[in-house]
């Protein structure tokens, strides 16, 4: 509920709100505000009642941001806020009702220690104490940190909560992601909860499972005796003491570590264990916190968007390596590029920062394609464990922990790009040997070892591999001599996926297939790369190119489709073998279609001429060639229609209908009918136009596809608006947009929105019409296609509408609404428009 502002003096602003001390002070102010905005005098009274009185001035100074307060003042500030919130629940935020004093103190302990390590000036407080409960030199004392801890606010908050709820918490993640550093920071933050001490056990250098028990006993300061096992001695020493045991780097001794952890937790009820490992211990009651790489800056790379934890870490470590280093306008883009190429992996960022002693940031970014050599021994931290001294050592360690099947899966999946569906990963990793381990188990092992990350998309599992992990896998794949086989398997799988999708374009499964292809965009692109580089071209290269004719439109990326079609035609200007002639002709038809959608009518015609020339030399191929001729005529008709030549458009479209052998997935018949209908509409034959378009809609409904039907409904709406029947056009436009939204067809949504804007203007809402026009304009720009596909009649129709809307609104008002649409984006603009009442 809202609070009435409390009268009194306005607080002075924090001098440097972006500094560690400034953020600390801002946090205290926010805590006080959440507690109900008590005066500092009221907080002082609370501290008195809590038994540790502090003056209002001391508490105000704690949140001033000018000096670092003592721990005593910080602790009482937090306790006083909690006490006030409990006494005045109606004034406090709802979140304050869930406050737990111990959890809050743990969080503020970590924050106080962070500013202590940052070297901020401290306020003079007689007898002030630190929250650190460790005695110097005591067994288990955590090592002092030498560099600043960056980011991880979300992981710290989650870790603190898990440690309060569970007796076993394991931090998992890929090597070099910062598990150890996070664990130490968490341990420091919760130290006040464990009067029995926090004890760190470093397991990385142990080589035998039998060494785990004695290493833990040594860290605890427990003397083992001949008549007692180390477990018995540890259990007796820990019994009755609230203790935290930090087990660092368990992955290579997983079974022994898990067995000891299980035994100690059963024997010592007050013990808690915080472990770090590249995979979970898989013990009962274990809570797993996955540690991901640091967040990356936003895509636009502007100064405001560069403030990410990855950039902050890189810049901090760069300053340590080169003291005069600063993030500037001149180097910002290169810094962001380095952070993105290294995917926010902390160890890689730290190693890269050391290279700035020799290279500029730009030179560093240019060399990161060879990152394992670049981030090698020359830039290593000699004080680091051997497994963390170079980037390669990190992954060598992970590779050694993998089974033979897991290593093979790692290599085979390294040829992929982007994310991979679980089903596709299984297909790519499947081994035909009778005794082979199921691919699913190998993939699960890579997920457990943090080499693959599982994400969920629409209720299905997808797998993500960091590019650095991928590069390591590719090196091993190349060394094994199996890289060509893995690439061929990849291209056959994904281009085969495209071919199977085309088989269902003319079916109710069309939408699902198109959405599936969109998820595999990165791997379709990768498959084209592999196929174009293949010395012996696969028929699937040409069949996949043809099959993606609809995908390039529906995914809104015509420009990329043209790119791949041009590369294909340059690589194979003629059929490479006689047996590939038919497949080549169909691929060139798809190339012509992509060029047509980009507005290149000359290029489209040239490709179709090549197709007809090759087909005529090849002779009569029966129904397949008839279908190809029909498709060529349909596309020539569409090109003529876009240019405004209705006579030629109708002639070619009728020719397309005359031929038999139409491929169902090309939707040739209904497209040719729609072209005849649109041509009739352009020349003013309204009844004839509606007749042909309705025939096309009937065919679409019979086969159950939705993409073309959405355009046909829009086409019929245009025919109606041309005749002044806007009321009948509205439900057609709504239905068309419903289909477009199901498909995620942004260019289709933009196309229909142009007509909807005109209808809105005619029905008295020019403001929303201008909003939609602005939003549609921003959708066309990055697509690589001209607005309204360059359809001259519709472009003129739109221009007339824009001019009329300008006159209705006035120039200033039109520009305001148009620019608002550009900022809003098409989804939100349509949401606003469709929420309005339309005529009829």
Q: How many CB atoms lie within 10 A of CB 145?
A: 14
Vertex 554 angle, CA 607 and 791, to 5°: 60
Return the pLDDT at 128: 45
Q: Which of 83-97, 421-435, 448-462 has the lowest mean pLDDT?
A: 421-435
Average pLDDT over residues 801-810: 89
Higher pLDDT, 834 or 405: 405
Contact 355, 374 (CB under 8 A): yes
- Reduce the DSSP state of residue 178 to 3 states and report it: coil
Average pLDDT over residues 235-261: 90
Q: How sure is the predictor about 116, in pLDDT bands with cuts at 50, 70 and 90?
A: low
Superfamily of domain 153-290 in CATH is P-loop containing nucleotide triphosphate hydrolases (3.40.50.300)
Contacts of 376 by beta carbon, 8 Å cutoff, 6+ apart: 390, 391, 392
783-793, pLDDT tens digit by residue? 778 888 888 88
Return the pLDDT at 298: 72
Q: How sure is the predictor about 303, in pLDDT bands with cuts at 50, 70 and 90?
A: very low
Q: What does DSSP assign to residue 191?
A: G
* Residue 549 phi, psi dihedral angles, 5° rounding: -55, -40
* Residue 62 phi, psi dihedral angles, 5° rounding: -60, -35
Contact 454, 447 (CB under 8 A): yes
The helix (H) or strand (E) run that includes residue 114 is helix 101-117
682 pLDDT exceeds 60?
yes
Contact 219, 201 (CB under 8 A): yes
340 pLDDT exceeds 60?
yes
The helix (H) or strand (E) run that includes residue 540 is helix 539-547
Average pLDDT over residues 132-145: 49
561-572, pLDDT tens digit by residue? 999 999 999 999
Q: Tell which residue, 725, 728, 690, 719, has the closest CA to residue 793.
A: 719
Contact 314, 338 (CB under 8 A): yes
234 pLDDT exceeds 90?
no
Exposure class string for 594-633: b at 16+ Cβ within 10 A, else e: bbbbbbbeebbbebbebbbebbeeeeebeeebbbbbbbbb
Domain limits of the chain? Answer: 20-117, 153-290, 304-392, 706-834
Average pLDDT over residues 2-7: 45
Percentage of the chain with pLDDT > 70? 90
DSSP bridge partners of 287: 169
The Cα 592–Cα 609 span in angstroms is 10
The Cα 326–Cα 55 span in angstroms is 41
Q: Spell out the SS3 assignment of 654-691.
A: HHHHHCCCCCHHHCHHHHHHHHHHHHHHHCCCHHHHHH
The Cα 451–Cα 152 span in angstroms is 20
476-520, pLDDT tens digit by residue? 999 999 999 999 999 999 999 999 999 999 999 999 999 999 999
Q: What does DSSP assign to residue 296?
A: P
The Cα 544–Cα 712 span in angstroms is 26
252-272, pLDDT tens digit by residue? 889 999 999 999 999 999 999
Q: Tell which residue, 85, 94, 98, has the closest CA to residue 42.
A: 85
Return the pLDDT at 137: 31
687-698, pLDDT tens digit by residue? 899 999 999 999
309-338, pLDDT tens digit by residue? 899 899 989 998 899 999 888 998 899 999
Average pLDDT, the chain: 85
10 Å CB burial of residue 379 (0-12, 13-18, 19+) is buried
603 pLDDT exceeds 80?
yes
The Cα 637–Cα 652 span in angstroms is 5
Which of 158-162, 328-332, 589-593 holds the top average pLDDT? 589-593
Exposure class string for 76-99: b at 16+ Cβ within 10 A, else e: bbbbbbbbbbeeeeebbbeebeeb
380-401, pLDDT tens digit by residue? 555 455 555 578 888 888 888 8
172-218, pLDDT tens digit by residue? 998 888 898 899 989 988 887 888 888 998 888 787 888 888 888 88
436 pLDDT exceeds 60?
no
* Residue 420 phi, psi dihedral angles, 5° rounding: -130, 135
Return the pLDDT at 434: 47
User: Helix %, strand %, coil % for the chain, to 5?
Assistant: 65, 5, 30
* Residue 798 C-alpha from the chain's centroid: 37
The Cα 673–Cα 712 span in angstroms is 10
Residue 596, CA distances (Å) to 549, 570, 591, 640 in order? 11, 18, 9, 10
Q: How sure is the predictor about 301, in pLDDT bands with cuts at 50, 70 and 90?
A: very low
437 pLDDT exceeds 50?
yes
The Cα 674–Cα 198 span in angstroms is 75
- Reduce the DSSP state of residue 566 to 3 states and report it: helix
Average pLDDT over residues 576-585: 92
Q: How sure is the predictor about 839, in pLDDT bands with cuts at 50, 70 and 90?
A: very low
639-655, pLDDT tens digit by residue? 999 999 999 999 999 99
Q: How sure is the predictor about 125, in pLDDT bands with cuts at 50, 70 and 90?
A: very low
The Cα 312–Cα 294 span in angstroms is 10
The Cα 43–Cα 33 span in angstroms is 12
378 pLDDT exceeds 70?
no
* Residue 293 phi, psi dihedral angles, 5° rounding: -60, 165
Q: Spell out the SS3 assignment of 35-97.
A: CCCCCHHHHHHHHHHCCCCCCHHHHHHHCCCCCECCHHHHHHHHHHHHHHHHHCCCCCCHHHH
């Amino acid at each position: 509920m809202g609070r009435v502002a409390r009268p009194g003096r306005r607080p002075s602003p924090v001098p440097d709100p972006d500094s560690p001390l400034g953020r600390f002070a801002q946090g205290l102010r926010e805590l006080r505000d959440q507690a109900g905005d008590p005066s500092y005098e009221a907080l002082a009274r609370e501290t008195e009642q809590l038994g540790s009185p502090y003056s209002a001035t001391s508490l105000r100074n704690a949140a001033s941001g000018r000096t670092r307060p003592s721990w005593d003042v910080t602790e009482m500030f937090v306790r006083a806020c909690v006490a006030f919130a409990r006494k005045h629940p109606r004034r406090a935020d709802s979140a304050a009702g869930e406050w737990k004093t111990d959890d809050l103190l743990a969080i503020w302990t970590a924050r106080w220690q962070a500013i202590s390590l940052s070297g901020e000036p401290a306020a003079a407080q007689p007898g002030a104490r630190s929250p650190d409960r460790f005695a110097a030199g005591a067994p288990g004392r955590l090592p002092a940190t030498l560099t600043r801890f960056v980011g991880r606010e979300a992981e710290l908050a989650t870790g603190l909560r898990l440690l309060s709820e569970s007796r076993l918490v394991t931090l998992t993640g890929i090597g070099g992601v910062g598990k150890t550093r996070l664990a130490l920071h968490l341990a420091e933050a919760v130290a006040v909860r464990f009067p029995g001490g926090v004890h760190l056990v470093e397991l990385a250098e142990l080589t035998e499972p039998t060494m785990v028990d004695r290493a833990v006993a040594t860290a605890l300061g427990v003397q083992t005796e001949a008549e007692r096992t180390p477990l018995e001695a540890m259990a007796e020493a820990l019994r009755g003491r609230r203790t935290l045991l930090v087990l660092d780097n368990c992955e290579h001794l997983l079974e022994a570590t898990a067995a000891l952890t299980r035994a100690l937790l059963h024997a010592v009820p007050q013990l808690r264990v915080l472990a770090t490992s590249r995979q979970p211990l898989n013990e009962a009651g274990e809570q797993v916190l996955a540690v991901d790489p640091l967040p990356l800056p936003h895509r636009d790379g502007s100064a405001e968007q560069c403030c990410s934890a990855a950039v902050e870490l890189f810049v901090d470590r760069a300053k340590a390596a080169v003291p005069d280093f600063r993030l500037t306008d001149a180097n910002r883009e290169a810094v962001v590029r380095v952070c993105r190429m290294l995917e926010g992996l902390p160890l890689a960022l730290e190693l890269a920062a050391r290279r700035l002693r020799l290279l500029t940031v730009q030179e560093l970014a240019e060399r990161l394609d060879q990152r394992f050599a670049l981030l090698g021994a020359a830039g290593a931290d000699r004080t680091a464990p051997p497994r963390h001294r170079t980037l390669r050592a990190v992954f060598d360690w992970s590779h050694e922990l993998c089974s033979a099947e897991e290593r093979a899966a790692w290599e085979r999946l390294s040829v992929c790009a982007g994310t991979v569906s679980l089903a596709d990963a299984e297909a790519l990793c499947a081994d035909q040997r009778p005794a082979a381990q199921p691919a699913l188990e190998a993939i699960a092992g890579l997920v457990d070892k943090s080499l693959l990350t599982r994400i969920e998309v629409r209720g299905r599992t997808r797998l993500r591999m960091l590019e650095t992990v991928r590069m390591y896998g590719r090196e091993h794949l190349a060394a094994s001599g199996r890289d060509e086989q893995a690439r061929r398997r990849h291209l056959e799988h994904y281009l085969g996926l495209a071919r199977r999708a085309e088989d269902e374009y003319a079916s109710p499964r069309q939408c699902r297939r198109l959405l599936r292809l969109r998820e595999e965009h990165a791997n379709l692109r990768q498959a084209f790369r592999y196929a174009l580089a293949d010395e012996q071209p696969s028929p699937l290269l040409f069949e996949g190119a043809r099959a993606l004719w609809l995908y390039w439109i529906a995914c809104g990326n015509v420009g990329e489709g043209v790119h791949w079609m041009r590369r294909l035609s340059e690589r194979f200007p003629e059929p490479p073998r006689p047996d590939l002639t038919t497949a080549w002709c169909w691929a060139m038809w798809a190339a012509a279609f992509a060029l047509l959608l980009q507005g290149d009518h000359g290029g489209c015609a040239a490709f179709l001429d090549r197709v007809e020339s090759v087909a005529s030399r090849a002779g009569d191929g029966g129904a397949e060639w008839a279908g190809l001729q029909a498709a060529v005529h349909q596309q020539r008709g569409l090109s003529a229609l876009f240019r405004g030549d209705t006579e030629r458009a109708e002639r070619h479209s009728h020719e397309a209908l005359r031929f038999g052998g139409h491929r169902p997935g090309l939707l040739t018949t209904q497209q040719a009918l729609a072209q005849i209908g649109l041509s009739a509409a352009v020349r003013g034959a309204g009844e004839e136009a509606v007749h042909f378009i309705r025939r096309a809609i009937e065919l679409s409904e019979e086969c159950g596809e939705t993409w073309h039907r959405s355009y046909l409904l829009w086409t019929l709406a245009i025919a109606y608006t041309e005749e002044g029947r806007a009321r009948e056009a509205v439900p057609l436009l709504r239905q068309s947009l419903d289909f477009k939204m199901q498909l995620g067809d942004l260019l289709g949504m933009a196309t229909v929105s142009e007509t909807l804007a005109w209808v809105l203007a005619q029905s008295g809402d020019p403001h929303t019409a201008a909003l939609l026009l602005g939003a549609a304009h921003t959708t066309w720009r990055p697509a690589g296609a001209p607005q309204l596909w360059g359809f001259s009649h519709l472009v003129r129709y739109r221009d007339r509408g824009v001019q009329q809307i300008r006159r209705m609104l006035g120039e200033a008002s039109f520009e305001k609404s148009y620019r608002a649409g550009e900022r809003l984006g098409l989804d939100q603009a349509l949401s606003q428009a469709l929420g309005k009442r339309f005529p009829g």
